[in-house]
């Protein structure tokens, strides 16, 4: 994903982290949480980022009890693409886009 800017300046890439909550059975992503730290010395620990991700997912009505977490740098996300977590649980992979015929059939449903 492209870099983030604050007050007209490009932020250092390591200032943003992503926590992805996923179902380990099939790799389905249920919640993605991004944290960007603007000031030096205030980096959050991985455990705190994950805790926030779980709390926010619960706030959206999602059950998080059996979900695993994957922590990645912000730039690992490639924009507006749907992802799943690989079977090893250590990386994301883009989902194949449905064909135009499949999308039309889904709309007729």
SS3 59: helix
Give tens-digit pLDDT for 71-101: 998 888 877 788 999 999 999 999 887 666 6
Give tens-digit pLDDT for 93-108: 998 876 666 556 655 6
56: which DSSP letter? H
- In whole angstroms, what is the distance from residue 87 CA to residue 55 CA? 25
The pLDDT confidence band at residue 37, using thresholds 50, 70 and 90, is: confident
Q: Residue 79: what pLDDT?
A: 73
The pLDDT confidence band at residue 51, using thresholds 50, 70 and 90, is: very high
Q: Global pTM?
A: 0.76
């Amino acid at each position: 994903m492209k870099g983030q800017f604050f007050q007209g300046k490009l932020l250092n890439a390591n200032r943003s982290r992503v926590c992805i909550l996923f179902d380990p059975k099939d790799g389905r992503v249920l919640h993605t949480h991004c944290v960007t730290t603007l000031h030096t010395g205030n980096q959050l620990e991985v455990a705190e980022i994950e805790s926030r991700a779980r709390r926010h997912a619960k706030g959206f009505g999602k059950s998080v009890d059996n979900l695993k977490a994957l922590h990645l740098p912000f730039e690992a996300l490639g924009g507006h693409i749907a992802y799943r977590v690989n079977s090893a649980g250590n990386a994301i992979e883009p989902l194949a886009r449905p064909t135009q015929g499949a999308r039309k059939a889904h709309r007729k449903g």
